[in-house]
Structure 1
């Protein structure tokens, strides 16, 4: 879910005055949180907040659109990001203040067990930058590094990686039916953990991809619309979007969150809500 287009989201900070005897810090003295180049979105495992992986760290966005972060003060460029159970995995590039132990210039695979407050190096630190990273229902990690087109698979939380098929994929998602890739040649499907793929001839050309809890696929097509898979394996266009989509995530059966020219956008059966517009 990696869309490399700039987005700036600013939040309004409250001005609090507690007395006249000392100098007070006002909202104009504090730089508001800034989100740019959104690469991925996931639901915080602890509740309804969103975790937004960006060029300058991972931020929290509440259901009302309040933005805070970067979490833990970590300023790395989270090019790849995924959540499995209560563990966060990321990849990308170090920021100006990123701890040296996480790797340079590339992060490889790093892991957080406290929802982004602290991070630990796992593997490939310093050498590899995953631009595509996802996790399956069983915790298996799948990724594609920026330096190649080989699918990589890890069954031990990112410690060791096995090469699969060579695919030029922009996004990956795993369901109980297998691994799917949004690739240049169309929607690809693998039932052997990415060793081989076959093309789904019925699918539109997609560049983002995710799935509902029941395994129904959704994605954004090159025509600028959201597409969903029907039970008979045909596809239906749902809604036209505005501009290129930077990130796309199916949060639950009835909730989609994405980033396009309108900002961070939530789509439900009740309608479309702009959680945080670009300002």
Structure 2
């Protein structure tokens, strides 16, 4: 990447970070009302992807159940796409997104295993939880949530789960092996997004000065030389990591974030990325932008919109 390109990328990321800060401030100011939350327990079935180019992807904007999407992931229990939003968790059915569980403003969200999620944020209408909720856990696919720790104290805007526990950023970078006991990590940046390898040894954080990486569970960090200026990152599994730059360019690493290759590009401003290894070892990459949810089954080279 040339010096001019890197300066331009940094400018784009600062703009994206500022926009995100405005959105997060708006989410934090929402007051819960005394109304019942909506549920979503319809029978699960396999999703079908739509086909088309950028025009079709732009048309898929109606598929977003909320203007503020904070996370996207595949549940290993059924292969379904889930969106964590300002208005709660949504699961994509054949007919589109269906709300699951209470209307919690899920600012941070990560999948730990089949039907096993961690999240953070603020209670929504009719939800009897502390504000902020701290670290919460669901073991039934998001239908119900239990408060684990740091209720009333932490609103984790970035979360990553692994076999070693959970890492989150709430103004400080913290890790917990059990969801209740926390340790502060000394990171060189304030990460906009976090990714953790399956064993928790490798951590990747994004920032406006470029991504950083730890290979010892966050004890020491270093800048990733020659890496794209990533805004969002997620481990697909093994040593495969997907990332997205502020301009929608998708990159992939097959060596746990040490080196990266540019893949495809999605339209719109990126909001969330999720990655998952398919049975043949190819990464499935999901990118949410203001133009919709974009789904790649070829490691981020080409994308199709999820059905509205």
TM-score grouping bracket, smaller chain normalisation? 0.7 to 0.9
Give the C-alpha shift of residue 60 in structure 1. 0.5
**Aligned match of 2:80:** 49
Maintained 8 Å contact 2:242/2:252: yes
Maintained 8 Å contact 2:227/2:260: yes
Q: Render the CA deviation track for 1:52-85: whole Å, top value 9, x for unaligned.
A: 10001001013x452111x12x011000111112
Equivalents in 1 of 2:214, 2:206: separation in Å? 12
Give the C-alpha shift of residue 195 in structure 1. 2.2
Give the C-alpha shift of residue 263 in structure 1. 0.5
**Aligned match of 1:68:** 98
Correspondence 1:159 to 2:180: yes
TM-score normalized by structure 1? 0.78
Per chain length, whose mean CA-contact separation is higher, i.e. which structure has more relative contact order (CA < 8 Å, sep 6+)? 2
Higher fraction of strand:
1
Maintained 8 Å contact 2:105/2:124: yes
Equivalents in 1 of 2:216, 2:259: separation in Å? 23
Higher fraction of helix:
2
**Aligned match of 2:233:** 209
Maintained 8 Å contact 2:186/2:218: yes
Give the C-alpha shift of residue 131 in structure 1. 0.2
**SS of residue paired to 1:183:** coil
Aligned residues: 240
Residue segments in structure 2 that go unaligned for 5+ positions in a row: 1-16, 25-62
Maintained 8 Å contact 1:54/1:77: yes
233 and 133 in structure 1: CA distance in 2 versus 1, 3 angstrom threshold = closer
Give the C-alpha shift of residue 132 in structure 1. 0.3
Alignment of 1:1-279 (within 5 A): 4=20, 34-62=65-93, 64=94, 66-69=96-99, 71-72=100-101, 74-86=102-114, 87-99=116-128, 102-104=129-131, 106-136=132-162, 138-145=163-170, 148=171, 150-156=172-178, 158-166=179-187, 167-175=189-197, 176=199, 178-229=202-253, 233-252=258-277, 253-269=282-298, 271-276=302-307
Q: Render the CA deviation track for 1:118-138: whole Å, top value 9, x for unaligned.
A: 1111111112100001112x1
Maintained 8 Å contact 1:187/1:199: yes
Equivalents in 2 of 1:121, 1:216: separation in Å? 31
- RMSD of aligned alpha carbons: 2.5
Give the C-alpha shift of residue 33 in structure 1. 9.2
Residue segments in structure 1 that go unaligned for 5+ positions in a row: 7-31
Give the C-alpha shift of residue 276 in structure 1. 4.1
